[in-house]
Amino acid sequence: MEFTVHRTDAQTPARLGTIATPHGSFDTPVFMPVGTQGTVKTMSPEELREIGFGIILGNTYHLSLRPGADIVARAGGLHRFMHWDGAILTDSGGYQVFSLATLREISPRGVSFRSHIDGAAHFLSPERAVAIQEALGADIMMVLDECTPYPCAQDYACQSMERSLEWASRCKVARRSPHAALFGIVQGGTYAALRTRSAAGLARIGFDGYAIGGLSVGEPGPLMLELVAHCCRELPGDRPRYLMGCGTPVEIVEAVARGVDMFDCVMPTRNGRNGTAFTARGKLAVKNGAFKEDFRPIEEGCGCAACRHYTRAYLRHLFNAGEVLGLRLVTCHNLYFYHQLMRRIREAIAAGTFERFRREFIERYQRGGESCT
């Protein structure tokens, strides 16, 4: 993997770059749709390509449980298995172990847990996490880490951070693929000093990129952004920075302003399946009765397939009738909106107008001329 910074904003740490992988290049800042189980829910790979995405996510935890990393490997890797020719980033599975698994037990060796699917016993070590991701054929792999909850006592956050550093070191030693990049993950809860130690420790080990983990887990928004800014200042400037699991359009714009290059979140797809669309003026609940006879698109001027061909009234009808097409169309719109947001961010950085774009976008979005509430 190669990362090139083309321009840094004059007023903020926001930056414009490109990441090259064995399965193509993409520009940063970038949003990566979440394809947890080898699919971005309700969307085909062809539709994702049509929108313009060059990278999506897969998940080690879910894919290792079903269909199994060995089956994916025999199919030729995740790219061939799911018919996706772009880049793939795989999460290590650590977050899912700590959020979904039952009866888990953490030790210096790794984590023992029981599957949320059938209760079967499993063990995930740093070495195993890397081996699974290499079997999947990921372009970018993540180290195994522990994601602490919010709130979290400082003593435990420190212990967990140190354990995650040790696991990160073991992940790098276990790496065998010359083609897959490996990212470290900064932990430390909401304690800036622990985040500093984590970032410094990861930099000493040396990774192809660095993620900021353990945020967007319930902490106040201003605190999250403060910690994001702190981590970005502590991480190497010649490597991409990835904020995991974040978030809303406003959070993304604000995190870019603090130096983040990569984002993922289930929000556009999950909200789409629930009938909520993202627009430049806030969120729109297309299921609401107010749209029964509204023959406008979700958002005027939007180029997505849903807005080009369908009305709010029709989408409301689909959701009320329980038709799957409604879920697909609003998901398509939301992913298109996120992709276009990133494009506009990149254009503003390139033009030297990012700070103005940031202010205007957030003011308009939060003003919420159209809201789901």
Which is catalytic among the residues 145, 208, 261, 264?
264
Which is catalytic among the residues 91, 145, 208, 261?
91
Element holding 211 (H helix, E strand): strand 209-212
Is residue 27 among the annotated active site residues?
no
- Conformation bin of residue 351: beta by default, left when phi > 0, alpha when psi is -120 to 50: alpha
Q: Is 296 exposed, middle or buried (0-12, 13-18, 19+ CB in 10 A)?
A: exposed
Tokens 């995740």: give the residue: 78
Is residue 264 among the annotated active site residues?
yes
Interaxial angle between packed helices 312-320 and 324-351, expressed in degrees from 0 to 180 and rounded to the nearest 10: 140
For 239-279, the DSSP string reads: S-EEETTB--HHHHHHHHTTT--EEE-SHHHHHHHTTEEEE
Structure token pair of residue 311? 């009305």
Integer Cα distance of 20 and 303 in angstroms: 27
Residues annotated as catalytic are 91, 264
